[in-house]
Amino acid sequence: MAANPFAFAVELQRCGYATDPRYARKLHLLIRRYHLTQYDAVPSACHPERSEGPAFSPECT
């Protein structure tokens, strides 16, 4: 497993999954341009709220 998304892209290319010789570089640019690494962190308190009631109410639709 790669340590970060940039290393992962390089490994994908190295292993033959990418046919474009510039695949890793292009992917790096997209990750940086759209700040996609912000989605890599998992919140420490990632627990869904519990509810004893129904998921929706027919009278609210």
Q: 4 lies in which domain range? A: 1-39
Closest CA to 7 of 29, 28, 33: 28
Query: How many domains is the chain built from?
Result: 1
Predicted local confidence at residue 54, as pLDDT: 72
Calculate the average pLDDT of the chain.
82
What's the mean pLDDT in 3-23?
91
- pTM comes to 0.61
- Assigned token pair, 11: 């490994």
Task: Give domain status of residue 57, yes or no.
Answer: no
pLDDT in the model for residue 52: 75
pLDDT computed for residue 47 by the predictor:
57
- In this model, does residue 6 exceed pLDDT 80? yes
Q: At 27, is the pLDDT very low, low, confident or very high (cuts 50, 70, 90)?
A: very high
* 16 within a domain of the structure (yes/no): yes
Let me know if residue 2 belongs to a domain: yes
Q: Residue 32 is inside which H or E element, if any?
A: helix 23-33
